[in-house]
Amino acid sequence: MVNVIIRIIKTFILSLILLCVSTASAEPFKIRDIVIEGLERIEPGTVFTYIPVKVGDVFTDTDSAEVIRELYKTELFSDVVLRLEDSVLIVEIKERPGIASLDIIGNKDIPDEQLIESLTDIGIAPGRVLNRSVLDRLENELLQQYFARGKYNVQIKTVTTELARNRVDVEIQIAEGKAAKIKSVNIVGNSIYKDKKLKKNFESGNKPFWRIWADNDKYSKQRLSADLEQLRSQYLNTGYLKFTVDSTQVSITPDKKDIFITINVDEGDQYTLANVKLAGAFEVPEDELNDLLEVEVGEIFSRSQVVASSTRISNRLGEDGYAFARVNPIPEVDDETKTVNLTFFIDPGKRVYVRRVNVLGNRYSRDEVFRRELRQMEGGWYSQSGIEASRGRIQRLGFVEAVEIDTVQIPGEDDIVDLNVIVTERLAGSFSIGAGLSDSQGVVVTTSVSQDNFLGTGKQVSFRINTSKVNTIYDVSYSDPYYTIDGVSRGFGFSYISTDAEEADISDFDSDQFSLRANYGIPLTEVDRVSVVGDVRTTEITTKTNISDEIQEFLDDNGRDFLNFNIAGNYTHDSRNRRIFGTKGLFHRATLELSVPLSDLEYYKVSHEHIWLLPLNDTFTFATRSEIGYGDSFGSTTDLPFFEKFRAGGAGSVRGFSDNTLGPQDSQDDAFGGNFLTTAGAELYFPIPALAEASRLRFGIFADVGNVYVDVDDFETSELRGSAGFEVNFITGLGGISMSIASPFNDDEDDETEPFQFELGTSF
C-alpha cells in the first residue's frame, strides 16, 4: 500500500514538473519524432501502442500528463519521464522486472497447485511482470486463508532476488506453525435443547477420544459455517421456523494457541402444519402426487420432510420425462396461531428426451460394455428411474470403481438433453508368476492369468495353475455375461484338482478330480437372476495308512472311483451399490445341487448365503452375513460323500479358527465335516483418513459365529464357535487382500485356533 502511495505522489510531481517546464519554455508544437529510451525486455512497438499521440500530432501541455498516465496504467513500468528536444518527444521509461521463476516453500495445508493457480489469477507467474503492490496484497490474502484454517501463528515472507536483464526470482516462504485448537464451543440462548444434543453432530469442538485421527479441535471457518447450518436444520426440522443465529464470536488467547467459540441463538416458537396442498400443472395425477408427500396436517413443521416431499415429486415427474421439473414449497406463516399453510407449486416444464448418451473415461473397456447396462435409451423420454438403474448396474461391474451420470442441456433447446456417463475403471484382472506363503497351505507356487474384462469386452477369462502342499489346481474358464442381447450369460470351463486332505487338516486321504462344466444365466429383473450349471466330474480317492474308520466305511460301501453328472441351480438377488467395497444393498444366493441319473454317487446339497450392507453415515458401514447349508444322500449312496461335506473355520467363515477344522471329527481326530452348516457374522467397516483412498483400503471390526454338525438334529447353540477381532481389506495390483486378527470365544480345548489369518483374491 505504501508503494502505491509513493508511486502516485511521484507521478503527480513528475507530471507537475513537466507541465511547468512546458508552460514556461514551450508553446504547442508538431511532433517530428518519438524516441523510446530505457527498454530492456519490452519491444518498442508495444510501448507505441500505449502512447496516445503519434508523429505529426500537435503536442500540448495536457498531452504530457495523458502520456504518463496511459503508460502507468499498463503496470509495465515503474518510472516514466518525458523530454522535448527539437520537436522530438523522448519517452524515458524504467521497466518493472520480469518474473524468471516462482518458488513456494514451507506450505503443507495448502497444496502448491492451489497456491500457484491463485498467484496466476492475480498476475504472479513466471514470464509475467512483477508488481510489488500485488505481492503485498497476496501476503494478506494468504494470511486470511491460513487464519481460516486456524493457523494464527503463520508467517509469510516474500523474497525477490535480482537477476540479469531486469529479471527476478520470487520465493514465497511460509512458516505455517501449529493450528490453534478449539477449547470450547458454547451455545447461548437455547432452552429447548441442551448444548450436548445441539453439538452432537458438530465437526468443530473437542474430538472424541477414540477418533485419534480426527481434527475436530482444529478451527476452520468453513467447518464452523457447516456446523451453524446443521444447527439451523436441527431447529427447522422440529418446527422452529423463526430460529436464528444472532451472532458468532470466535476469540483466541494472546498466545494464539486456544480458540473459544460462542454462538448466540434465538430459538423462537414451534409451528405446526395447518394445511397442505398442491398447485400448478399436474402432468401426473394429483392423487398420486399427494401420496408422495411426507408431511401431514397437524404434524410439527419439518424442513427436511418438506425437501424430501419436493424431491419425491420431482423424481416422479422425472419418470415421465420432465427432467427439469421445479417444485417450490411456499409456506404461509400465521404467527398468532403458530401454524403454517404449505403449498407445493409444481412447474413440470417441458417433457425432455435424451438425444445422445456419451460414455467417457473408459480407457480399457469398449463403449458397448457399458451401453448394454443402460436402462435409459437414446431417443427416449428422460427417465429418472432408468438413469438410476443404469448407474447401479454399471457400478456393480467388478472392473468399475466409480460412475457418474451427468445431464447436459443442449444450447438453445429446452426439451433435449445429452447424458454423459463418466466411469472410473479399476484393474479388472491380474497376471502373476511367483511364490507366496499362506498361513494354511504353506509355500504356494502360482501362475495365473485372470481377466474379468478380457480385451475390454466384459467377458471373463482365467487360466490358473496353483501348487501347494494342499492343492494342485489347473483350471481354465470362460464366461460371456451377454451371450444374448437380453443378458443371458453362458460359460464353459474345465479343471483338474489334486488334494492332499491331511495337509488341509481334514483327514488322511488324497483325491484327484477332473471336471467339465457349462453354465447359463437368465436375468429376471434388474437385480434378480437364475442360473444353471452342469458338470461332468470324475473323482478318484486314494487312502493312506491312517485312514479314518468313517472314510474307509464309505469307500467300502460306495467304491473309490466315481463318475458323476451334477446339475446346480442358483437364484441370486444382488442390489449392492458395488461388488467391491460395497456400502449399501442386499445380496442373496440360494443354491440347489443335485446328482442326476447315471451318476455313481447320488446326493444333493442346498445352501443359502446372504450379505446385508447398511450405511450408517458417510464413514461407517454396518454389514451382516450368513451361510446355511444342508446335504444328504439318496438312492443307493449311503451318506453325503465325505469330500462334499460342509466345512467351516478360517477366513471367510469363522475367523480365528484354522481353515476347515470346525465340526465333527473322525476316528483319527481329524476334521471330518458335516451335513449341516451354519455361520453368521457382523462387521463394521470404516476408512482411516489420510492413509489411503476409501475405495482401495478399509478397516473393520467383526464378530463371527458358526459351526458344522453331523445333521440338523445335532444342532446346539452351545456348540457354536465364535470370534471377534479387527480386519484390514485392501486392493492391490494382484487382487484383493484381507487380513484379520481374531480372538476366539466359546472354543473347545480340541479346537485349532489361529489368531492371524489372511486371504488373497477375496472379493470383500
Cα-Cα end-to-end distance for the chain:
60
Write down the pLDDT at residue 702: 96
Q: Which grid cell sits at 463?
A: 487360466
Candidates 3.10.20.310, 3.40.50.2020, 3.40.50.300, 3.40.50.720; correct CATH number of 2-95? 3.10.20.310
Q: Domain boundaries in the chain?
A: 2-95, 98-175, 181-266, 272-347, 353-425, 444-760
Task: Please enumerate in sequence order all residues whose Cβ is within 8 A of that of 308, keeping only pairs 6 or more positions apart, or say none.
Answer: 294
Pick the CATH number of 272-347 from 3.10.20.310, 3.50.70.10, 3.50.50.60, 3.40.50.720: 3.10.20.310
- CA 644 – CA 417 distance, rounded (Å): 56
User: Which 3 state secondary structure label does DSSP give 407?
Assistant: strand
pLDDT of residue 170: 86
pLDDT at 447: 54
Q: Do domains 2-95 and 272-347 have the same CATH topology?
A: yes
How confident is the model at residue 317, as a pLDDT?
92
Write down the CATH number for the domain with range 181-266. 3.10.20.310
In this prediction, the residues of the chain whose per-residue pLDDT falls under 70 are: 1-27, 207-215, 427-450, 467-470, 501-508, 688-695, 732-736, 759-764
Match domain 444-760 to its CATH number in 2.40.160.50, 3.30.470.20, 1.10.3720.10, 3.20.20.150.
Answer: 2.40.160.50
Give the position of cell 494354511. 440
Amino acid identity, position 223: R
Convert the pLDDT of each residue in 112-162 to its tens digit.
787 787 777 777 788 788 877 777 777 777 887 788 777 888 888 888 888
Is residue 556 within 8 Å of 541, Cβ to Cβ?
no
**pTM tops 0.85:** no
pLDDT at 762 (0 to 100) = 52
CATH for the stretch 353-425: 3.10.20.310
Sheet with 244-252, strands from edge to edge, namely 181-188, 258-266, 244-252
Spell out the CATH class of 98-175: alpha beta
How many Å separate Cα 87 from the centre of its chain? 72
Looking up cell 484383493 gives 736
Euclidean distance between CA atoms 333 and 346, whole angstroms: 20
> Which residue spans within 544-665 are E strands per DSSP?
561-574, 585-595, 603-615, 621-633
Phi and psi torsions of 113, nearest 5°: -60, -40
DSSP string, 336-367: TTTEEEEEEEEE-----EEEEEEEES-SSS-H
Name the amino acid, one letter, at 424: T
